[in-house]
Amino acid sequence: MRESTPARSTEPVLRVRELRVAYRTTRGPLWAVDGVDLDVRPGESLGLVGESGCGKSSLARALLQLMPPGGVVRGSVRLGDQELVGAPEATLRRLRGNDLALIFQEPMTRLDPLMRLSDHFVEAIRAHDRRTSRNQARARARATLAQMGIPPTRADDYPHEFSGGMRQRIMIALGIVLGPRLIVADEPTTSLDVIVEAQILDILDRLRRDEQLGLVLITHNLGIVAETCDRVAVMYAGRIVEIGGVDQVFTAPKHPYTKGLVASTISLDTTELHSIPGFPPDLVRPPPGCRFAPRCPAVMAHCTDAVPGYAEPEPGQRAACYLYPGAGAPVGTVAGGGA
């Protein structure tokens, strides 16, 4: 695991409080994100992990207020001093790119196949600053692409002329060309081979260190988080169940769900495969109490009665679990009666 690098500023660039994200369904609202709190400081990388469908991508879209029709966002997302939830669309358009960037998975679906690479940059730059001439924007595009290891001579090529790894570099370049303070990277290495994956992660790590960008890295791969991030937040059924330093969480996980995820990873020492029995809950009709209770090997009677608060078993490491003092219920209740 990599060593944590302290950020130069202790003031968070991103503050998320009681964030809730819902989608309308025929059965009622589906709360994909339900009461999330997060902080990210300049120069810090936060990994967000969890099973498919746990709300990671919904959280990413809510951070930028890029919700589909019918999507609802409640709570608070503050970028510096600016509140994003409920902000006018003109304000959000100004902040996206300039201050806040989202790097998508599958870059080919985000690049216009009929536009040259340089035209993507010119469009993005001039949308935020009409005083920048097209020639100035093209020069800026070439300089940013060079940072990503893409020769300036290829700036006028079309997206299909690049490999998958090169297209992901292009997406990162588009994300940083306006100098944002925070990057949200949603599965940025999907479908890439391990060599190219390592190169992309090195680029993101260099950017956040050199430019003091805040980075939220969303992924299924715990190994990527272990090598790249300072802290990790574990998400289950729309909620953060554990958060702390990467070394803390991966070497001594506290929440039973985190323990199951860590045990499910494969290494050279793996002798048998491990999985977490059961399935995530229906988020239209979630179970009462702890949402992991139906799958939890340490379930107690009161786990299904009330939502656990955050306990702090170790300094800087918090887990929403009744196994630890401070979560809201007495430790020592007889196990096995809740599910």
Q: What is the pLDDT of residues 244-287, one digit of tens each?
A: 999 999 999 999 999 999 998 877 777 788 889 999 999 999 99
In a domain, 131, yes or no: yes
Number of structural domains in the chain: 1
127 lies in a domain?
A: yes
For residue 265, being part of any structural domain is answered with: no
Q: Is the pLDDT of residue 147 over 70?
A: yes
Spatial distance between the Cα atoms of 268 and 169, rounded to a whole number of angstroms: 30
Q: Is residue 154 part of a domain?
A: yes
DSSP 210-240: HS--EEEEE-S-HHHHHHH-SEEEEEETTEE
Selection from 304, 237, 187, 278 nearest residue 30 by Cα: 237
Over residues 187-216, the mean pLDDT reads 86
Helices and strands (H and E) in the chain: how many: 9, 12
CA atoms within a 13 Å half-sphere pointing along the CA-CB vector of 282: 6
Would residue 238 count as lying in a domain? Answer: no
Q: Check: CB of residue 296 under 8 Å from CB of residue 339.
A: yes
Mean pLDDT of 162-183: 88
Distance CA 330, CA 311 (A): 12
Return the beta strands (E) in 52-145 as ranges: 71-79, 82-83, 100-103
Instruction: Work out the mean pLDDT of the chain and round it to a whole number.
Output: 88
Cα gap 192→184, rounded to integer Å = 18
Phi-psi region of 154 (alpha: psi -120 to 50; beta: other; left: phi over 0): alpha
Please check whether residue 80 lies inside any domain of the structure.
no
Q: Which of 84, 77, 102 is nearest to 15 (CA)?
A: 77
If you average pLDDT over residues 101-114, what whole number do you get? 80
With respect to residue 157, please indicate whether it lies within any of the assigned structural domains: yes
Indicate if the pLDDT at residue 228 is higher than 70.
yes
Q: What tokens were used for 138?
A: 């093209």
Q: How far apart are CA 39 and CA 11, in angstroms?
A: 9
Q: How confident is the model at residue 6 (pLDDT cuts 50, 70, 90)?
A: very low
d(CA 134, CA 125): 9
User: Are the CB atoms for 318 and 233 separated by under 8 Å?
Assistant: no
Residue 77 has pLDDT above 90, yes or no: yes
Residue pLDDT, tens place only, 15-64: 999 999 999 999 999 999 999 999 999 999 999 999 988 999 999 999 99
Tokens, residue 330: 């007495």
Residue of 111, 37, 49 lying closest to 236 (CA atoms): 49
Check residue 127 and report its DSSP letter.
Answer: H
Residue 102 lies in a domain: no
**206 - beta bridge partners?**
none
Amino acid making up residue 55: G
Domain extent at residue 164:
110-179
Please give the average per-residue pLDDT across 188-196, as a whole number.
80
**Residue 175: what pLDDT?**
87
Backbone φ and ψ for 168, nearest 5 degrees, come out as: -70, -35
